[in-house]
């Protein structure tokens, strides 16, 4: 049958004629789930996983519980997960519908997790994994039953519509997508390592435990650091706003996510609060959440935007390099310690006066600049890796949409697409 002939199926679209549309129950030898009870865990024994152990397409046995052989046998007899099976979280609130391909070659038990065991005559396990991933959101939306604990029923999972090419093509599609998955996983690991290395480097540089080379002497910086109050480095800016415009408001995100334009609130009153004009290059923080990493430096795009006194801003003095100061503030032990300086009833806030009295260790300006340069370079390297990761994910997503619908066909004898 020619590969370029298609048949249209409602809700699925056009499918190649040499592919099959079938319920999962017809091509799986078993569609079932693990226990819904809570067995008694023991200190050592056979691993027992729950929905929280299904993460990013894999099973993590970190912090898994253990069962006795007797309790395990009862559960395992029902579902017996093996290498090549697909696991789907079918009960829960946070990650219902998440899935994992079973790579483990040892016995384990599970709770609140469904299992699809593909029949190798008709269906490859990795192909099933990728195909389910491509339709997961639709499946969860269409079949999820509500209540205190939303769930995907085994009855619905048996009726799951699968679009499957011949086995050789399934294997090649899975191989191609696995290559992209490996590239994504490798890049994610590189990002994690780079962030850890940057964090360690920042701690050493910003505490003075590691001294950089002074370009003027070609030797490490030697001058002692001076303990100063932040008011020697920053001065508060209070430029009264003449154009009170809700469309030009700032917000500061938690966890060092930076400064951005605030979404306009529909019920906002223009003249109910005093606002101040903020400038690019200023330091800004959220009074209620600075201890949670809610601060940043205003970029050029947001120059002239506004904020209330709940988001005070500061100009840098000549003694301070702004990038160095931002990296210093980004040390969790420093910004989290500011919670002790917050006052007020109900929602506590960090008053600018209290913030400006905070003491920090100050290197000379040249060393500040050198530290800032090194840490900025590290950040840029991480940003490049993150951009690469985003590209890989987008490319894989597009390829999945094409390969798993037959819009692009693979060459069975090669890892290529037509």
Q: Where do the structural domains in the chain lie, given as residue ranges?
A: 20-164, 165-211+366-418, 226-263+274-362
Alpha-carbon distance 30 to 320, whole Å? 66
End-to-end CA distance of the chain: 17
pLDDT of residue 352: 97
Q: What is the DSSP letter of 264?
A: P
Over residues 190-219, the pLDDT tens digits come to: 999 999 999 999 999 999 999 999 999 999
Q: For residue 265, give the 3-state DSSP assignment.
A: coil
Predicted TM-score (pTM) of the model is: 0.84
pLDDT of residue 415: 53
Give me the architecture of the 165-211+366-418 domain, per CATH: Orthogonal Bundle (1.10)
Residue with more model confidence, 104 or 264: 104
Over residues 31-59, the pLDDT tens digits come to: 999 988 888 889 899 999 999 999 888 89
Residue 1 has pLDDT above 50, yes or no: no
Contact by Cβ (8 Å): 136, 94? no
Establish whether domains 20-164 and 165-211+366-418 are of one fold. Answer: no
Residue 358 has pLDDT above 80, yes or no: yes
pLDDT of residue 33: 92
Alpha-carbon distance 17 to 368, whole Å? 66
Range with lowest mean pLDDT among 94-108, 226-240, 290-304: 94-108
- In terms of DSSP H, where are the helices of 278-351? 322-329, 332-337
Give mean pLDDT, residues 86-112.
90
Strands 13-16 and 99-101: unpaired
Sign of the dihedral through C-alpha 340, 341, 346, 352: negative
pLDDT of residue 253: 97
Over residues 217-259, the pLDDT tens digits come to: 999 999 999 999 999 999 999 999 888 888 899 999 999 999 9
Helices (H) and strands (E) in the chain, counts: 9, 30
What is the DSSP track for 7-68? EEETTTEEEETTSEEEEHHHHEEEEEE-BSS----BSSSEEEE-GGGEETBEE--TT-EEE-
CB atoms within 10 A of CB 10: 5
Q: Which CATH class is domain 20-164?
A: alpha beta
Over residues 255-273, the pLDDT tens digits come to: 999 999 998 876 555 566 7
Q: CA angle 412-175-101, nearest 5°?
A: 135
Range with lowest mean pLDDT among 166-175, 395-404, 409-418: 409-418
Give me the architecture of the 226-263+274-362 domain, per CATH: Alpha-Beta Complex (3.90)
Alpha-carbon distance 100 to 215, whole Å? 53
Alpha-carbon distance 194 to 176, whole Å? 27
Residue 46's alpha-carbon distances to 41, 59, 108, 113, in angstroms, are: 10, 15, 6, 17
pLDDT of residue 133: 94
- pLDDT category of residue 3 using cuts at 50, 70 and 90: low
Residue 167 has pLDDT above 60, yes or no: yes
Alpha-carbon distance 300 to 280, whole Å? 5
Over residues 110-151, the pLDDT tens digits come to: 999 999 999 999 999 999 999 999 999 888 887 766 666 778
Q: Which two tokens stand for residue 6?
A: 């298609």
Residue 416 has pLDDT above 60, yes or no: no
């Amino acid at each position: 049958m020619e590969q370029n002939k298609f048949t249209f199926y409602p809700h699925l679209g056009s499918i190649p004629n040499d592919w099959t549309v079938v319920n999962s129950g017809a091509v799986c030898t078993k569609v079932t789930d693990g226990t819904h009870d809570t067995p008694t865990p023991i200190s050592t024994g056979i691993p027992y996983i729950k929905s929280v152990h299904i993460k990013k397409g894999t099973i993590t046995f970190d912090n898994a519980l253990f069962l006795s052989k007797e309790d395990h046998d009862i559960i395992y007899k029902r579902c017996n997960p093996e290498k090549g099976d697909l696991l789907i979280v079918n009960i829960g609130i946070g990650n219902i519908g998440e899935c994992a391909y079973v790579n483990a070659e040892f016995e384990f038990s599970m709770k609140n997790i469904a299992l699809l065991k593909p029949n190798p005559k008709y269906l490859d396990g990795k192909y099933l994994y990728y195909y389910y991933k491509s339709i997961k959101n639709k499946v969860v939306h269409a079949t999820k039953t509500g209540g205190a604990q939303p769930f995907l029923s085994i009855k619905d999972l048996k009726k799951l519509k699968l679009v499957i090419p011949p086995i050789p093509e399934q294997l090649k599609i899975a191989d191609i997508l696995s290559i992209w998955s490996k590239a994504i996983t490798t890049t994610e690991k590189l990002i994690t390592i780079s962030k850890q290395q940057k964090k360690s480097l920042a701690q050493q540089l910003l505490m003075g435990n590691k001294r950089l080379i002074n370009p003027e002497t070609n030797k490490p910086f030697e001058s002692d650091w001076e303990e100063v109050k932040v008011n020697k480095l920053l001065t508060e800016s209070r430029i009264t706003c003449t154009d009170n415009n809700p469309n030009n408001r700032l917000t500061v995100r938690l966890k060092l996510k930076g400064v951005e334009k605030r979404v306009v609130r529909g019920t906002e009153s223009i003249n109910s609060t005093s606002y101040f004009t903020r400038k690019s290059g200023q330091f800004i923080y959220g009074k209620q959440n600075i201890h949670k990493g809610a601060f940043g430096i205003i970029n050029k795009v947001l120059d002239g935007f506004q904020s209330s006194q709940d988001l005070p801003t500061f100009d840098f003095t000549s003694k301070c390099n702004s990038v160095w100061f931002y990296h210093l503030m980004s040390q969790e032990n420093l910004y989290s310690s500011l919670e002790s300086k917050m006052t007020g009833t109900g929602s506590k806030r960090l008053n600018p006066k209290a913030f400006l009295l905070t003491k920090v260790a100050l290197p000379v300006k040249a060393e500040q600049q050198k530290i800032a340069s090194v840490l900025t370079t590290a950040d840029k390297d991480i940003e490049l890796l993150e951009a690469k990761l985003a590209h890989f994910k987008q490319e894989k997503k597009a390829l999945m949409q094409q390969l798993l619908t037959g819009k692009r066909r693979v060459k069975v004898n090669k890892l290529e697409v037509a």
